[in-house]
Every structure is written in structure tokens, then in C-alpha cells.
Structure 1
Amino acid sequence: MFKKVLIVTVLLVTFASSASANTLYEVKKGDTLTKIAKINKVAVNDLRTWNKLKKDSIYVKQKLIVKKPTVATKTTTNVVSNNSKIIVTNKPKQETVVPPVQVKDEQLTIAPNAVQAMNLSTEGQAMYSFIVDFAKHLEGIPYLYAGNTMAGFDCSGFIYFIHSQAGLDITRQSSDSYFTQTANVVVPVIGDLVFFENTYKQGISHMGVYLGENKFIHAGSKGVEVASLESSYWKEHFVSFNRFNSLTVR
């Protein structure tokens, strides 16, 4: 009998630096980009690049990235399951990239239910640790439709930003498009994605990052915040926990 073979590519990443209070700087009265650059011993140009600033004007309580995340090492692990055994092979120089899938806003996408993502290894969760830590430091940044910078985020823009700042090669897409590039996770770990449907539109319409203990962080209408999956609203619209099929380091 033919058996389906599942291949899930997981990127194992070890970061030279982790998110900390020193990664972000909250603008105070009297601050300028030049002053902030001097305090943090970085170039003004770097501040513009890291924060995607088109001009030098900043505002009080704005949060700026003042330390660029760096990647130390990377390897790619292919996990192959034939329902009876698991074989793990390390291929440090080979990477698998899943091409972006374009999905129209009005389309309802269906999760690849036949595909169950494997649990990440300890090394693989190093990537998640950074992403979750960094995401928590962005709490309070306002909601901005189509936003994907420190000026404001929408839900998918937030996911794009925290993953790209972790050094991962990810394109800016909608939540339903990200959904098609992920596999369902039966037992989620901290750092996995969480998807919701029928919030402001039909179909997959919202996403966040799982924090454990039935909590997740997301860019909602009130800005970046931690919410509970136990609340009646999110419980009603919950779809699944998911994990990217593959991501590579830039």
C-alpha cells in the first residue's frame, strides 16, 4: 500500500544576540536621531535603515530599534516521516525555499490538514526564543493598516517584521497567504503561529504568535498586545496552530 511521505524542512538557527531591553529605545522629550545614535554608538543611517524611516522626525514614546539582530550559524534539517519511523538528516549547505503563494483577500483558504508539522528540535527553538522575546518588546506599538514598521503594524505586518528582524528570509504577505505556507501543529510550542477566521472578513483573517499557557501576541485593533485564547471572542474565531513549512536565513 502506498504511504504518504511527509517532508518538513525546519531551519535551525543559533543567534549571536538575543532580544533584550537594549534592542529597543523609547524616544524621550528632546531626543533626536543623532542623539540616540550617539547614545547607542551606532550610525544615524543604521537607525533609519533598521526602523525604515523615510525622514528624521521622531516622536515621544516611539520605539526604535537600536541594535541589529545578528545570526551566528545556520543549518537545515529535513525531517521525513513515513508514519512508521522518523529519519533526520543534516544538510548544512542545502536550503529549501517555499515560493510565496498569492491569495486574494476574498478567498477562503483551507489548511493542509493531511500535513502535520513535526516538533522542533531544541536547536530549532532558538529561532523561536528570539522572535518571542523581540515581539514582547514591541507591545504598545499602535495598529496601522498594512503597517510593517515601528510606526505601526497590522497582524501580518507584525509577523513579517519580527521574523525578518530575526534574519529570516520572509516576504510581506497577508495572513491568509501565510496560512497556505504553513502546516498544522497538533501540539504547539512557544513561537508557533496561531490563526483565526471570520474576524473582519470571511476566511483566514488574523494571526499571531503563540506564547504558551493559551496566550498569544498579535497586532490587534488596540496595537501590539498579549491576548488569551480562552476569551470568548478568540475562542470563537480560532482555527489552528501552525508552523512555517520552511524559512531560510538571509
Structure 2
Amino acid sequence: MKKIAFSVVATGSLAFFVGTGDAEASSYQVKAGDSLWKIASSNQVSVADIKKWNGLTSDVIYPNQVLQVNSTASVPVKQTESRPSATPTTTSTYTVKSGDTLSQIAQRHNTTVGAIQRLNNITGHLIFAGQQLKVSGTSPQTSTNTRPSSTPPTTAVPSASTGSHTVVRGDTLSGIAHQHGITVTQLQNWNNIQSHLIYVGQVLKVENTVVAPQKNPPAISTAPPPAQAATGSVKSVIHTAMPLQGTPYTWGGSTPNGFDCSGFIYYVYSQAGVDVPRTNTVGFDARTYEVDKPQVGDLVFFKNTYTTGISHAGIYIGDNKFIHAGGDRVQVTSLSDPYWSKHFDSFKRLYAMN
């Protein structure tokens, strides 16, 4: 009798382990930072297949969620079986540094721009140095105790279900396209627009289908030069700036009675009809994205002048020159100047110029 009992137990154990192996081969438990595209790629299936097999209507997933990744599985995986409602999801944060963009931060933490926006309740792409951003965890609106196992999360971007995106301050076509996993060309074609000029409140059509992104999706910094979208503003910037040469340098100044470097930029852009805040050099740096080929009206940033890091800025006027409030007055200086070439950091463009 003992031998028979042992055989039955052994056979049952073997069946258990074989069944477990099959289940593991056909399901995947979501980890912090995962995306549907990443999971689909690692399992050699498409995002559309994973959404179909799991009854998902959006691209939103959450840590510890179990997803079916193989069509041969006999029993669909329930959405919340391995997600204890009593255990909160660990949230990671990131402190924004000068020059960061949402797309760079998302790529660095293996997540998406849309996920970071939802976690931090922000709608545009504007961030600033020193800002604390959640880069993983559960969105505040998500409830883990009342969601039925067959109901997908409710924190999806509104445009995923409505097929539209309402432009907010700081948005660019490239940023919107990246957020929705589409291309700028598709966005232009669907909305019958020929340029890159968009405005706050404009409703753009987006398509709720997943287009397999490139391994290195285009960052916001690939936006076209402002000369195409804001030629009038660029001319106004230069026409406002040049007559101010000789105005005395005044620490904290932002009027024609006296300027410091950030006050000069604020005054010139504001007078040219460009909506910018009165901030310091680091603040302007956080509201720009880097460009390889500068256009007239772009900003020039310098580092390690009177303090460590980004510490001075001017307005590029072409011919390798920039106008700025530096030294004892507002003046035009060559970028070949020994002092300024030594401290040169980058050319950047204000989001507000798109």
C-alpha cells in the first residue's frame, strides 16, 4: 500500500510541474517599466495579439498584471489574480536635470511619455530642473480593490478611446505623435495640415492602433526649425533685440532700464508675442530642446561662467553671433570669442516657438 501511495503522489507531482511549465510559457507577469511593445517584442508576437488575447482596449498595463502571450493557452489569464490589493506598488521618482525632456526620461527608465504624464497628472511636455517626477508605480486614479478581473485599467489617455488629442501648451506635433505611437506624417495626413504649426485647444485626430515604434523613437528635439512655423515671431524677436544694444547690465533687470541675461530673453520674447515666463537661465533651459543646426531666434546656452552648470544664455542672430546681456551691457558677441567658446554648452529652441 505504501508503494502505491508513493506512486500516486509522485505522478501527481510530475503532472503539477508539467502543467506549471506550460502556464509559464504562455503567460507573463508585468514588471515596473514594462510596455506592451516591449513584452510583445520579447515574446515574438504583436501588440495587437496581446491585446486581443487579454481583452485589452488600451495600451495601459500595470506591475504584477499577468498577461497571456501565447495563443495556444487553454485558459485565459485573469487580470488581477497575482495583484494583491493590500500591497501598494512601489513608486520610483526621478529629479529632472537641466536639459532633460520627457522622452529622454521615459527612454532612460524604460517607460513611455504617456505613462509619466499620467503618473504625475501633467498634460504637456513642459518640465523644469529640480522637478520630482514619478517614473514607475500606479497612477493615483487607479483603484485596485474594486476593478473586476475582466475590466481593463481606467487610466488610459482619453485619446486612446476617443481617437483625438486636444492640444495643450507645450505640445508639438512630434511630441503628440510619439505619445500616441504614430508618425508626424500620419498626424498631418489625418488632420489635413501642411505645416508643423498647431495651437492650444486644437483637436487633432489620432488613431487608436499600435504602430510598431523604431528602436530609437524620435525625440521631441527632431521638430523642424521654427522658421517654418513661426517666421513672424523670429523676425519680431530679432527686431526687438537689436535696438537694445548698449542697455546696461542690471542684476535681476527685465526692462529697457537694465537687463540681466534671463531678463533680456524674457523681455525680447514677450515683446515679440511669444508666451514665456520670467524665469532664470536654468528655467529657460528646462523649457527648450536641443538642436544640431541653430536657426535665427534660437537660444545659446553657456555653462560654468559665474557658477557651476548652465549659467548664461543669449539669442542666436546668425553668422556665428549672438546677442545677450553680458559684461556691462547688452551686446552682440561672436561665438568664436575665446571666453564664450570655452564655456559654450548648446543651441536650443523654446517649446513655445513650435
Q: TM-score, normalised by structure 2?
A: 0.42
- Which residue of the partner structure matches residue 186 of structure 1? 292
CA-based RMSD of the aligned residues comes to: 3.2
Map of 1:116 onto structure 2: 221
* Identity percentage of aligned residues: 37
Q: 1:244 to 1:117 in 2, by over 3 A?
A: farther
CA distance in 2, matches of 1:124, 1:77: 15
Q: 1:189 to 1:246 in 2, by over 3 A?
A: same
Deviations 1:171-230 (A, max 9, x none): 111101110111001111000000000111111000000011110000012211000001
Structure 2 alignment gaps of length 5 or more: 1-36, 39-102, 115-123, 126-169, 203-218
User: In the alignment, is residue 79 of structure 1 matched against residue 184 of structure 2?
Assistant: no
Cα distance in 1 between the residues matched to 2:317 and 2:241: 10
Q: Cα distance, 1:168 vs. partner?
A: 2.6
Residue equivalent to 1:151 = 257
1:208 aligned partner: 314
In 2, Cα distance between equivalents of 1:246 and 1:180: 12
Q: Which has the higher helix share?
A: 2
TM-score, normalised to structure 1, is 0.58
8 A contact 2:299–2:347 mirrored in 1: yes
* C-alpha separation in 1, matches of 2:333 and 2:292: 21
Aligned mates of 1:168, 1:191 — CA distance in 2: 11
Gaps of 5+ in 1: 10-75, 96-113
Equivalent residue for 2:346? Answer: 240
Distance in 2 (CA, whole Å) between partners of 1:84 and 1:212 is 34
Q: What is the distance in 2 between the residues matched to 1:6 and 1:121?
A: 27
Measure how far apart 1:123 and its partner are.
Answer: 4.0
> Can you list the C-alpha shifts for 1:107-142, whole angstroms capped at 9, x where unaligned?
xxxxxxx64242225341221111011100100100
Judged with a 3 Å threshold, the aligned counterparts in structure 2 of structure 1 residues 168 and 122 are, in CA distance, closer, same or farther, namely same
8 Å CA contact 1:144, 1:154 repeated in 2: yes
1:6: Cα distance to partner? 8.8
Could you tell me whether the CA contact under 8 Å between 1:117 and 1:243 is conserved in 2?
no
Structure 1 residues 234, 125: CA separation in 2 closer, same or farther (over 3 Å shift)? same
Q: Which amino acid aligns with 2:340?
A: W
Distance 2:249 2:316 in 1: 19
Q: Bigger relative contact order, structure 1 or 2, given CA contacts below 8 A and separation 6+?
A: 1
Matched, 1:94 2:201: yes
Q: Superposed, which structure 2 residues align to 1:64-75 within 5 Å?
A: none
Say if 1:126 and 1:204 are closer, same or farther in 2 by CA, change over 3 A: same
Counterpart Cα distance in 1 of 2:273 and 2:283: 21
Pick closer, same or farther for the CA change 1:117–1:163 going to 2, 3 Å: farther
1:138 alignment partner AA: L
Q: Which has the larger radius of gyration?
A: 2
Q: Which has the higher strand share?
A: 1
Give yes or no for contact 1:148–1:154 (8 Å, CA) kept in 2.
yes
Which string of whole-angstrom CA distances, capped at 9 and with x for unpartnered residues, describes residues 48-86 of structure 1? xxxxxxxxxxxxxxxxxxxxxxxxxxxx98322669953
Amino acid at match of 1:157: G
CA distance in 1, matches of 2:292, 2:338: 21
- C-alpha change, 1:232 and 1:92, in structure 2 (3 Å) is closer
Tell me which amino acid in the other structure corresponds to 2:256. Answer: M
SS of the equivalent of 2:172 reads strand
Map of 2:283 onto structure 1:
177
